[in-house]
Structure 1
Amino acid sequence: MTLTTSQPYRASLDVAAIGNGRVAALVDQGARIVWWCFPRLDGDPIFCRLLAGDEDKGFCDVVLEGQVSAQSYYIRNTCILETILIAENGASVKVTDFCPRFWRYDRSFHPAQLIRRIEPLRGLPRISVRVRPTYNYGQPACSASHGSNHIRYLCGSTAVRVTTDLAVSYIVHETSFSLTHPATLVIGPDEPIESSIDSMSREFLERTRDFWVTWVRGLAVSYEWQPEIIRAAISLKLCTFEETGAITAALTTSIPEAPNTPRTWDYRFCWLRDAYFVIRALNRLGATQSMENYLDYITTVVSDTQSPLKPVYGIVHNDTAAERIAPHLQGYLGMGPVRVGNLASDQLQHDAYGSVILGVAQMFIDQRLPRMGDVSLFRELEFLGEHARRLYLEPDAGIWEYRGRLRIHTHSALLCWVACDRLARIAQLLGLPERVVHWKESADKIRAEILTRAWSDKRGSFTGAFDHDELDASVLLLGDLGFLPPNDPRFVKTTNAIGRELMRNGLMLRYAAEDDFGLPESAFLACQFWYIDALASVGRKDEARELFDELLKKRNAFGLLSEDLNPATGQLWGNLPQTYSMAGMINSAMTLSRTWEDAWCGRPAKHDTTPKGQEPAEHDLTAAGLISPRRSLNVN
């Protein structure tokens, strides 16, 4: 990716993510580190330039005298970033950024550490290295002291050390100098480094590269869209806090959903509703260790509570904080407020019960897992199921976390049905006939309510809430979750209605009605993937593939997706990399791709039986060649 750097810094979502399962950073196209939380994924941002508005603070960069361009790219199948800075006289340097990640002493080595190597490539480049850390969400570091090979920045009560084989004074004074040999910065805890910095960084770089290449080699990717799937898989891995297995919704906070909107949220937490989509993606990729770790996190949440589930938990599950505004950060492009914490953790969102049970159901059917689900775990899940039985007709904030209204949301009721339906199926697997009857009767009762009260004859569609006529893209999951077979006329009509009324310039809104903040402006990328999957399931696979290919073009310069897209401009908005979006990309790609066997044997791709642009008639679904209903328990 080539960038001309003649203009002052302007925040952009064209950033690359690097990380190691403990910390993660975002680096822009000019090798400026603009976001890095320390000492873990949800920590205080030592580098916060992405949200600093017009204040020049919270970053680490390399300034090349006379620079005219930069070329930035990932090393293939890794999250190691290389950037070539080029000056007008032809001099150039290479900046390599990574977080160490490999096996050491038979255990995972992933310190809260960034390593930056700077190497001269051509000519005699003159550079300056600037390190401007912050603390308490935007306050400049209190003081800096330095020794012969390090600088110690005091960031509130936390000390951050930069260890380097450069002249320390060059960094302290941001002095320009000639780079004649490779140099390294190691940024992390206030701990001395005993070995040679250069040899250590070269060894860590090689071993980190080997780790990622080996990890990618074990992925079960589809025949088509392999680079896109691999990058999405790595991004899911980067959002994982390896100690507990938690997967954050994104690495950032407060990137607005649209220009100049107060819809700015902290996504450095674990949403239980993400469980199904993430586990499904990890399962399809064959990333069983990551999936197992995530299941461990979820089961810890289940076993640790005797009270109703929260929809959102910290990466250490009992570590959550009240939402507050960070006064020292102006926000992305000056568009605050910047929020720390998320009020959604205190909301009523009844879909949490089904989300957890749906995810943990994998433990009862996946023979690859070393520890399978048993009767004891089933009893714990039943506790959640009883909440679902009791609450499915109670109003809640819903999947979109409305802050100013409560309704009986169709998606919440659907996931309560899922909770009971999966418990019945698990009980069948465990040979518990009385519990099968109990949970099947409960599921049937909820199903009848949804079919009666969520269907609108006026709209010819299922709607977002009981006894309301507003459309909502979340009802596209009725087919995916097994509530209705995809050839059910009501699901086909719903898919048609959603596509007709919620699409803007080929992009899917969550809903089109006013909410707490007015009319929504941005398309929600997860909904786009749900719509693509729904199209494929009702026999419009060619149309689904076209939409999928168009959406891939919207990824940022490094292949990442955020949460939202502006339908008018095609610009990315919202926190990134967004777990919902990246998991959606993986799931849709695996659904739409030709099989390896078909491709290798030269068999033609299967095309729609329906002419392009013509929707299947509800009375002629069999003739349209639609797939049979999927089994509900199968999270594949």
Structure 2
Amino acid sequence: MTDRPIEDYAVIGDTCTTALVARDGSIDWLCWPCHDSPAVFLRLLDGDRGGFCDLVLDSLRETQRRYRPGTTILETTFVTATGRVTLTDFMPLHPLAAVPDEGPDGDPRGRIVRLVSCEAGAVAGRFRVRPTFDYARDGASLEAQDDGTVLCRRLGEAEGVRVAASVPLAVAGDRVEAAFRLRAGEGASLVLAHREDDDGDVENAAASLTATETYWEEWSGRCTYDGPHRDSVLRSALVLKLLTHAPSGGIIAAATTSLPEAVPGTRNFDYRYVWMRDASFTVTAFVNLGYVREAAEFLRFLRDADGTRGRDLKLMYGINGRVPAEEILDHLRGWRGVSPVRIGNAASGQHQYDIYGEFLVALHAFLDAVDYDPPVKVNDHLAEVLGHLTDHVIRCRHEPDHGIWELRGGTRQILHTKGMLWVALDRAVQIAEAVPVASPERVEEWRRIAAEIRAEYHETGWNSQVGAYTQAYGSDDLDAAVLRTVLFGAFDPRSPRVAATLAAVSAGLGDGDLIYRYRNADGFAHPEATFSACAFWRVGCLALAGRTHEAEPLFARLLARGNDLGLFAEEIDARSGEQRGNVPQGFTHMAIINHAVRLDRAARHAQARTDEPCRWAAGA
């Protein structure tokens, strides 16, 4: 089969895991029961070996789709030669009678529900379910049950998927099929259940849809952003919520592994883990929209995952433990034949010191949102956490590292890292000024060292020959990550040197509205596509510089780069306009939220006609 474009995929989920649904109704990606569990469906990465749950309709002519407003419930309408049907896909997530102070705010049922409703004429078709367990490394046995369901078991294991339907099921080789013939007003349902003891509850599928819609509508209703880009912002917020893992409080970077950043190329990585950086970005985005509980839940995750209270902060974490060692699945050919397919991530052992700044930005934003009256479990150890993090900053301020882009070569004195070390101490000072978590002498030390770091990267990071702040000390290479440091206040957005750097990055790394992260050699044979978040960072820098007449139309054009549902992968191929990399990508959707907020504040600032400096902690 021909691999579907990455932008063809929609995402559904239940805050435990997600599934990707193609435009033609095929579920081609599902890891169960968690985001980083082995894949059960992975036709996304191998059209021949990978499992799926698809929908085959006779004489299909036309397809349209949408999310129900304010939800993650996907509706796809198919027009055939004889009629019209709507397929409704969701993963049940029911409201709780009372939301606890900590822990999941909904009740995930561990199911996928697919409802087909005939809207006009008559339609014939069938569902096909083919599970391939453990990334298609294990086979499956398909066992018809007395209750009419089919239990698909991983060979030699208790793990399985139960298939239930409102129409008869049949086992056909390595798949289960559910055929239907519907007239206007009639419907059929298919339920996939992860737990062996779950019978699928087909009879109550419609009631589960209502409950799930209620959960998402109530959650969306708490969004505080009411600016001109509300639809895009809310969709991005829903994506970020789907990338959370409610049982642990963790936030993963993306739903998939090994979707390539370049074609051809080998830049295929596993993003189904909790990156300190990406999760901290997401926390800031949540806070900017009024979702303070989600921010608190991530702090819960860290409290449980990192028992050292910041003394041994990791670059990334697995949802339920350490990130597994990187492994290549060479039996899978990869999306469009672009290999390797990787699970695990070798970058987990890198030194990336900017994470201290990333986390302190998120912590500061959370504390500010709760008026510095955090939950007891945060407040009790705040002084200790702050002390450990600032100790890290002071200890590593002169050390080289691998940096935000996780370059797999040697370490360098990377400018973005230095800027984020200043940000870390700046936010620590702001926290300590609001609550008594450090002595005046300690706070003064942070302030003094922050000033030294800032003076150093302003002087050493500037390359007069290039006419810009560059990627690393002594480097001639441009780096879009420098723009992020402007967003956090590490540079004055109105300074001539920042303006020159923005112009240099736009010219040297830009391709129209799109931006590459960098263009220097990084050990990979093929260049990558443009990095979507970088283009949004340019929007933020323009807004902070008072150039909103440029920032607003650029932001609108970038939003139009998403797929028909407003979803973004990690990157965009500048030539074809196709999405590249893992999808949906939290990094990109976080940038959409934060820059919509930043633009809204810029407009309000301009309307107020004030000459005060614009320093908005809207995140990156």
- TM (normalized to structure 2)? 0.91
8 Å contact kept, 2:76–2:87? yes
Alpha-carbon separation, structure 2, partners of 1:358 and 1:594? 19
- Structure 1 stretch 39-48 or stretch 267-276: which is displaced more? 267-276
Alignment partner of 1:340 is 2:310: no
Which deviations, in whole Å up to 9, do the C-alpha atoms of 1:556-590 show, x marking residues without a partner? 12110111011122211011111110010111112
- Size of the aligned set, in residue pairs, is 603
Query: Which residue of 416, 422, 441 maps to 2:427?
Result: 422
Quote the RMSD (CA, aligned, Å): 2.6
Q: 1:177 to 1:383 in 2, by over 3 A?
A: closer
Question: Relative to 1, partners in 2 of residues 1:167 and 1:46: Cα closer, same or farther, differing over 3 Å?
Answer: same
The SS at the match of 2:135 is coil
Separation (CA, whole Å) in 1 of partners of 2:505 and 2:4: 37
**How far 1:554 sits from its partner (Å)?**
0.8
Matched-pair contact (CA < 8 Å) for 1:50–1:332: yes
Query: Which of 377, 394, 408 does residue 413 from structure 2 map onto?
Result: 408
1:554 and 2:552 equivalent?
Answer: no
Query: Which of 10, 16, 26 does residue 22 from structure 1 map onto?
Result: 16
Contact 2:162–2:198 (Cα < 8 Å) also in 1: no
TM superposition shift of 1:291: 1.9
Asked if the contact 1:513–1:519 (Cα under 8 Å) also holds between the matched residues in 2, the reply is no
Distance 1:454 1:559, change over 3 A: same
Equivalent residue runs for 1:155-304 within 5 Å: 155-156=154-155, 157=157, 158-169=159-170, 174=177, 176-179=179-182, 181-193=186-198, 197-198=202-203, 200-304=204-308
> Unaligned regions of 5+ residues in structure 1, if any?
1-6, 599-604, 610-624
Q: What whole-Å deviation, never above 9, does each CA across 1:597-618 have from its counterpart, x for those lacking one?
A: 89xxxxxx869x9xxxxxxxxx
Deviation at 1:530, TM superposition (A): 0.9
Distance 1:230 1:166, change over 3 A: same
> Paired residue for 2:458, among 447, 451, 460?
451
Deviation at 1:128, TM superposition (A): 1.9
CA contact (8 A) 1:14 1:558 kept: no
Structure 2 residue aligned with 1:543: 550
Shift of 1:260: 1.4
- TM-aligned CA deviation for residue 29 of structure 1: 0.8
Contact 1:314 1:320 in 2 (8 A): yes
The separation in 2 between residues aligned to 1:175 and 1:21, in whole angstroms, is: 28
* 1:590–1:112 distance in 2 versus 1, CA, 3 Å: same
C-alpha contact (below 8 Å) 2:164/2:199 kept by paired residues: no
- Provide Cα deviations, 1:57-82, integer angstroms capped at 9, x if missing partner: 41111211122222222111111111
- For the structure 1 residues 483 and 572, does the alpha-carbon distance in structure 2 shift closer, same or farther, using more than 3 Å as the test? same
Shift, 1:363, TM fit: 4.2
SS at match of 1:125: strand
What is aligned with 1:152?
151
Structure-2 separation of matches of 1:446 and 1:288: 31
| TM-fit CA distance, 1:15 | 0.9
SS in 1 for 2:24: coil
Matched with 1:463 is 470
Aligned mates of 2:504, 2:510 — CA distance in 1: 10
Tell me the amino acid that sits aligned with residue 110 of structure 1: P
Q: Does 1:395 align with 2:393?
A: no
Change (3 A) 1:320 1:290: same
Following the alignment from structure 1 to structure 2, what is the Cα–Cα distance between the partners of residues 170 and 626? 71
TM-score normalised per structure 1: 0.89
Map of 1:351 onto structure 2:
354
Q: Once the 2 structures are TM-superposed, how far is the Cα of residue 105 of structure 1 from its aligned partner?
A: 4.9
Please point out which of 58, 64, 74 is paired with 2:57. Answer: 64
1:311 counterpart = 2:315: yes
The more displaced of 131-140 and 243-252 is 131-140
CA contact (8 A) 1:303 1:380 kept: no
Query: Residues 170, 134 of structure 1: CA spacing in aligned structure 2 closer, same or farther, 3 A cutoff?
Result: closer
> Match of 2:332?
329
| Correspondence for 1:524 among 515, 521, 531 | 531
2:76 counterpart SS class: strand
Give the corresponding residue for 2:613.
628
Q: 1:321 to 1:269 in 2, by over 3 A?
A: same
Change (3 A) 1:15 1:173: closer
Task: State the distance in 2 between where 1:130 and 1:364 align.
Answer: 49
**2:128 alignment partner in structure 1:** 130
User: Quick one: structure 1 residues 471 and 119, their matched pair in 2 at CA, closer, same or farther if it must change by over 3 Å?
Assistant: same
Q: Does 1:37 align with 2:31?
A: yes
Q: Structure 1 stretch 100-109 or stretch 175-184: which is displaced more?
A: 175-184
Instruction: Give distance in 2, aligned partners of 1:248 and 1:532.
Output: 25
Give me the whole-angstrom Cα distance separating, in 2, the residues matched to 1:437 and 1:412: 22
**Whole-Å separation in 1 of the counterparts to 2:537 and 2:601:** 19
Moved more, 117-126 or 22-31: 117-126
**Corresponding residue for residue 84 of structure 2:** 92
- TM superposition shift of 1:594: 7.6
Counterpart CA distance in 2 for 1:458 and 1:292 is 46
Deviation at residue 28 of structure 1 after TM alignment: 0.8
Deviations 1:245-289 (A, max 9, x none): 111111011110121110001010111112442222111111122
**Equivalent position of 1:618 in the other structure:** none
